[in-house]
């Protein structure tokens, strides 16, 4: 079930380097939120703080608060592994387990969650592949390796794997940057469908893509090299792209920098 994310005054560090500073925002459920901004402004770093992947890097840590509905993601009793299950992630390059079958790729997360029966697994794999708009292309070769699929199909397989464990949120870090235009449109169509059930956050360098797929857009910027990235403004996507409040946003979306 989709959940709201409430971020308050969040800083993220790599060792002593502060990569992002003072981020406060609300991410709405059942909608797509896009993060845009120039290279190095901290979009991916911020995305990874939302499912506690940031701290996996040695020396990395976070200050501030993130609530998923009423659950404090950085609270003392919270298991980061269970956070990553509730807040799923899809990466830039499709990363199916290459030697595993298509079926096992989708079932992989389910099995980590505990023992389930074969028929239960079959049901969830089929539903997840259908939801990821991939079922018709793979239903006759579920036992073939995931690596045998095209790049776009592999990315949809990774999305099926992510949704198989019923997350509340799906984080996508430039999910189309390694894909051709047709596969990109297939993923964008899929995002539009999935937003009915999930909270979706997407980092993208492609502003047309942000305009096409997202309901709300957050623009991040940094004052200079070595400075932390900050949220400049966040609003309805149509407003950000037609009538932003901040000059830096306007300069960025009109291609004056970045
Ligand atoms: N693993 C890491 N270790 C140390 N510093 C890092 C690491 N990853 C990112 N950074 C630094 O954090 C800052 C933000 O990087 P991040 O990748 O989050 O930006 P971004 O906006 O996603 O960039 P891009 O659009 O180029 O992907 C940069 O200064 C970067 O060098």
Domains of the chain, each with CATH number or no CATH: 5-100+169-253 (3.40.50.300)
Mind listing the pLDDT tens digit for each residue in 120-155? Answer: 999 999 999 999 999 999 999 999 999 999 999 999
CB 132 within 8 A of CB 190: yes
The Å distance, Cα 236 to ligand 1 centre, comes to 26
Rg of the chain over Cα atoms, rounded to whole angstroms, equals 18
Pure H helices in the chain: 43-49, 80-86, 102-112, 118-131, 135-138, 151-164, 181-194, 207-213, 237-242, 247-253
Q: Is 39 in the pocket of ligand 1 (CB under 6 A)?
A: yes
Four-CA torsion 242, 245, 250, 253, nearest 10 degrees? -60
* 17-27 and 32-36 strand pairing: unpaired
Q: Hey, whose CA ends up nearest to atom 3 of ligand 1? A: 14
Q: Is 40 helix (H, G, I), strand (E, B) or coil?
A: coil
For 48-92, how does the pLDDT look when each residue is reduced to its tens digit (9 = 90+)? 999 999 999 999 999 999 999 999 999 999 999 999 999 999 999
Whole-prediction pTM: 0.95
The CA distance from 30 to 11, in Å, is 26
Taking the centre of ligand 1 as the mean of its atom positions, its distance from the CA of residue 196, in whole angstroms, is 31
User: How far is residue 191's CA from residue 194's CA, in Å, rounded to a whole number?
Assistant: 5
Question: 14: Cβ below 6 Å to ligand 1?
Answer: yes
Residue owning the nearest CA to atom 30 of ligand 1: 40
Residue 99 CB–ligand 1 contact under 6 Å: no
Residue located nearest, by CA, to atom 8 of ligand 1: 45
- Decide if pLDDT at 241 tops 80: yes
pLDDT above 90: percentage of residues in the chain? 89
| Residue positions counted in the chain | 258
Return the sign of the alpha-carbon dihedral for residues 238, 242, 243, 249.
Answer: positive
């Amino acid at each position: 079930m989709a959940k709201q994310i409430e971020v308050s005054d969040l800083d993220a560090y790599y060792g002593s380097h502060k990569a992002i500073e003072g981020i406060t925002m609300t991410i709405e459920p059942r909608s797509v939120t896009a993060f845009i901004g120039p290279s190095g402004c901290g979009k991916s770093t911020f995305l990874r703080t939302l499912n506690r992947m940031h701290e996996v890097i040695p020396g990395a840590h976070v200050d501030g608060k993130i609530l998923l509905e009423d659950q404090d993601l950085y609270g003392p009793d919270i298991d980061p592994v269970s956070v990553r299950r509730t807040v799923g992630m899809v990466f830039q390059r499709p990363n199916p387990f290459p030697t595993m079958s298509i079926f096992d790729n989708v079932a992989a997360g389910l099995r980590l969650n505990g023992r389930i029966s074969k028929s239960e697994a079959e049901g969830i794999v089929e539903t997840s592949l259908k939801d990821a708009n991939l079922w018709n292309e793979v239903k006759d070769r579920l036992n073939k390796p995931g690596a045998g699929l095209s790049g776009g199909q592999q990315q949809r397989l990774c999305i099926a794997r992510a949704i198989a464990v019923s997350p509340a949120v799906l984080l996508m870090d430039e999910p189309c940057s390694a894909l051709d235009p047709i596969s990109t449109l297939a993923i964008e169509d899929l995002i539009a469908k999935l937003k009915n059930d999930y909270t979706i956050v997407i980092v993208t360098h492609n502003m047309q893509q942000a305009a096409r797929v997202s309901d709300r857009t957050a623009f991040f910027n940094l004052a200079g090299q070595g400075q932390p990235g900050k949220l400049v403004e966040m609003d309805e996507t149509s407003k950000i792209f037609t009538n932003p409040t901040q000059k830096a946003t306007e300069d960025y979306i009109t291609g004056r920098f970045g």
